[in-house]
Amino acid sequence: MQNFAVLRKAAACCSCILFSVVCLPAQRTTSRENQVKAVFLFNFTQFIEWPASAFNSPDAPFIIGVIGNDPFGNYLDETVAGEKVMNHPLVIQRYKDLGELQTCHMLFIGQEDPQKIKTILDVLNRRHTLTVSDYKNFAYSGGMIRFYTQENKTRLQINLSIAKAAELNISSKLLRVAEIID
């Protein structure tokens, strides 16, 4: 009997390992580039200060919105799961188009169409929303943070004056590693 128990345990262990070996690759749909960007979005919540007036209550959720193409998949959700900024739990919302757009504290714009981007930025004008995108001229056309790739590594362009106008206070730790556009 004793032996059987040991054997069962061993079998259970083996199947656990097998399961993880077989199943883990299937979950991996987000490219490394987008994994890094997802974690950057999370880091922005830690290195940027939002004014208290951006929240309805001290424990209201901090909303990260994704509009247009969502390159992150579940990875972004896994990244922010259980995380908080001050007392605000992090929540992800996805908007198919402008019609669904709600108040959010950070918005990733998965768009390449300059006209659509301009419309989104116009809608957000004067709100405390950090805007982030991969779009080439983003930081030159009213956006705040643009991701780009150089030497195979992720880089940031930050338009500081637009962020300041939205009363977002960006830490020097982040500014130091970014290209500043004014």
Partner 1 sequence: MLSAQKNGPFSPRELKKLSVEELMNIEVTSVSKSPEKLTEVASAIQVITNEDIRRSTVTRLPEALSLAPNLQVAQSNSHDWGITARGFNGAPFANNTLADKLLVLIDGRSVYTPLFGGVFWDAQNVLLEDVDRIEVVSGPGGTLWGANAVNGVINIISKNARETQGWYASAAGGSFLRDYAGVRYGGHVDTNFFFRVYGQRFDQNSTTWIDSTESHDAWHMTQGGFRMDYVPGNSNTFSFQGDFYGGMADTGNTIINGQDVLGKWTHRFSENANLSLQVYFDRTWRDLTASDFSEQLSTYDIDLQHHFPIGSNNQVLWGAGYRMMNDEVENSISLTFTPAERRLQLFNGFVQDRIMLVDQELYLTLGTKILHNDYSGFELQPSVRLTCTPSPEHTIWAAVSRAVRTPARFDADETTPFITTRNGEFDSEKVVAYEIGYRIRPVQYISFSIAAFYNEYDDLRSINLNDAPPPALLFANDQQAKSWGLEFSGNAVLTKWWRLRGGYTFLDKRFTAKSPAVFSGSDLFEAIDPHHQALLQSIMDLPGNLQLDITGRYVDMLPGLPSVSPQISAYTTFNARLAWIFREFEFSAAGQNLAGKRHGEFGSREIPRSFYLKGTFRF
The site for partner 1 (CB under 8 A) is made up of: 17, 20-21, 24-25, 28, 31-33, 35-36, 38-40, 42-43, 47, 75, 78-79, 81, 149-156, 173-174, 176-177, 179-180
Q: What Cα–Cα distance (Å) separates residue 181 from each residue in 31, 47, 73, 79, 178?
A: 28, 18, 30, 28, 9
Residue 141 or 154 with smaller CB distance to partner 1: 154
For partner 1, the closer of residues 124 and 163 by Cβ is: 163
Q: Which is nearer to partner 1, 6 or 24 (CB)?
A: 24
Q: How far is the CB of 11 from partner 1 (least distance, A)?
A: 17
Please list the residues that pair with 169 across neighbouring strands.
Answer: 49
Alpha helices per DSSP H over the chain: 2-27, 32-47, 74-80, 114-124, 160-165, 172-176
Q: How many residues does the chain have?
A: 182
CB of 54 to partner 1, least distance (A): 22
Residue 16 C-beta: closest distance to partner 1, Å? 9
Nearest Cα neighbor of 36 from 148, 121, 125, 117 is: 148
**Would you call 16 helix, strand, or coil by DSSP?**
helix
* CB nearer to partner 1: pick between 54 and 158: 158
Q: How far is the CB of 143 from partner 1 (least distance, A)?
A: 17
